[in-house]
């Protein structure tokens, strides 16, 4: 038997089931839709036109907002001013310094009804060259919409996180060098801070790092200037003490350096002048000796002697010889000479050499 509760539940379930509505389908319309062909537009381009390279995708990466001002034009002098100091993307270049310099230039340009950021977006590509220009050209078209986007991509490209880490380590581990004065150490420390403006160190941390990096003498000098412990002063007062100490050291060091350099340069110049004088004298003396005419060497005149008759003439011009008689005369002369040597008691016969 069904109880009242069961019958009541059954009625509720029947009421909750929605009725199924069966719609009549038009079979003729369905068949027409399946049989109707897809209409496509005919491509009437030639082979040459189809093989041409696409002309799309050549837009610049920087999107410059539309300028509604009348007669707006960037003059050539502004482009020249920007191109005077271009960024090439070398490892030793500082992209932060380039952005600061570019902002300083563009901040002086004012045009009615033209936002300054639009001027920056238009001029920034002219401030790049080399690898930096290639980087901008490789950026996707219309990917840089604002000045902040451009600065962010530029810094991330040429100032990667690894460089930030290295500079932060240099700032944290800063130490005064052995041969470095107080002013030189302070200048080098500030250069590191400027090279990494997003270092994240507070002014208190910077002053504490610099004070602990100094040698004992410079620390005592700061304590004396502060009238006690230097670190007991407020950060702003500590910075003023460092700046004043730097100015005093700069003025003294300049005077000492100029005095020492003057004396050293004087000694070096005097020694160089003396050496130069000796060299000039030697050169002049050598040149004088070369230009002075030397006495001609006496040449002894060659006296001709005839081998035939002993006269003062050549044997070719000897009157005792004539044509075919020359050889007979020579043989006769040799025979006479040999007889003379033999009659003088010579032990052996040695004919005299006849000179040609």
Say whether 87 sits in a helix, a strand or coil: strand
Residue 34 within a domain: no
At residue 62, the pLDDT reads 93
On whether residue 268 sits in a domain, the answer given is no
Query: Last residue of some domain: 95, 125, 159?
Result: 159
Residue 155 shares a structural domain with residue 174 = no
| Residue 336 belongs to domain spanning | 305-342
Q: Which residues of the chain have pLDDT under 70?
A: 1-42, 54-57, 249-276, 280, 284-305, 307-308, 310, 313-316, 319-356
251 and 171 both lie in a single domain: yes
What pLDDT score was predicted for residue 298?
A: 57
Is 295 within the bounds of a domain?
no
Q: Is residue 280 part of a domain?
A: no
Query: Is 250 within the bounds of a domain?
Result: yes
Give the chain's end-to-end CA distance (angstroms, integer): 173
Q: How confident is the model at residue 48, as a pLDDT?
A: 83
Q: How many CB atoms lie within 10 A of CB 239?
A: 15
Residues 195 and 134 reside in one and the same domain: no
User: Is 42 contained in some domain?
Assistant: no
In a domain, 252, yes or no: yes
Q: What is the pTM of this model?
A: 0.49
Do both 176 and 229 map to the same domain? yes
Residue 80 resides in a domain = yes
Q: What is the pLDDT of residues 228-284, one digit of tens each?
A: 999 899 999 999 999 998 887 554 444 344 444 444 444 455 566 666 677 767 776
- Residue 110 has what pLDDT? 82
Tell me the C-alpha to C-alpha distance, in Å, between residue 26 and each of 33, 38, 66: 11, 21, 55
At which of 262, 286, 321 does a domain end? 262
Retrieve residue 213's tokens.
Answer: 């990096």
Residue-level pLDDT at 273: 65
Domain count within the chain:
3
Are 133 and 173 part of one and the same domain? no
| Three-state SS annotation for 1-29 | CCCHHHHHHHHHHHHHCCCCCCCCCCHHH
């Amino acid at each position: 038997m069904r109880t009242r509760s069961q019958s009541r539940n059954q009625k509720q379930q029947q009421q909750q089931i929605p009725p199924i509505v069966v719609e009549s389908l038009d079979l003729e319309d369905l068949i027409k839709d399946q049989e109707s062909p897809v209409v496509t537009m005919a491509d009437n381009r030639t082979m040459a036109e189809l093989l041409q390279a696409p002309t799309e995708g050549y837009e610049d990466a920087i999107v410059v907002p539309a300028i509604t001002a009348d007669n707006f034009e960037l003059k050539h002098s502004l482009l020249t001013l920007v191109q005077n100091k271009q960024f090439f993307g070398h490892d030793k270049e500082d992209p932060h310094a380039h952005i600061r310099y570019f902002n300083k230039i563009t901040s002086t340009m004012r045009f009615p009804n033209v936002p300054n950021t639009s001027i920056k977006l238009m001029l920034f590509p002219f401030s790049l060259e080399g690898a930096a220009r290639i980087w901008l050209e490789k950026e996707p078209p219309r990917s840089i919409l604002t000045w902040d986007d451009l600065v962010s991509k530029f810094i991330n490209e040429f100032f990667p996180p690894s460089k930030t880490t290295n500079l932060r380590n240099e700032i944290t581990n800063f130490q005064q060098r052995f041969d470095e004065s107080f002013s030189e150490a302070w200048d080098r420390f500030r250069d590191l801070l400027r090279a990494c403006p997003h270092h994240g160190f507070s002014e208190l941390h910077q002053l504490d790092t610099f004070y602990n990096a100094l040698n004992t003498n410079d620390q005592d000098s700061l304590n004396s200037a502060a009238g006690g412990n230097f670190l007991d002063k407020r950060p702003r007062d500590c910075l003023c003490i460092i700046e004043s100490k730097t100015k005093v050291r700069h003025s003294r060091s300049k005077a000492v350096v100029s005095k020492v350099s003057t004396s050293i340069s004087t000694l070096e110049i005097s020694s160089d002048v003396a050496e130069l004088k000796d060299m000039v004298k030697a050169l002049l003396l050598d040149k004088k000796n070369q230009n002075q005419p030397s006495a001609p060497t006496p040449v002894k005149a060659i006296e001709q002697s005839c081998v035939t008759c002993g006269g003062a003439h050549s044997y070719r011009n000897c009157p005792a010889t004539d044509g075919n008689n020359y050889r007979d005369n020579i043989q006769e002369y040799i025979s006479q000479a040999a007889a003379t040597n033999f009659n003088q008691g010579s032990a052996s016969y040695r004919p005299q050499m006849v000179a040609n």
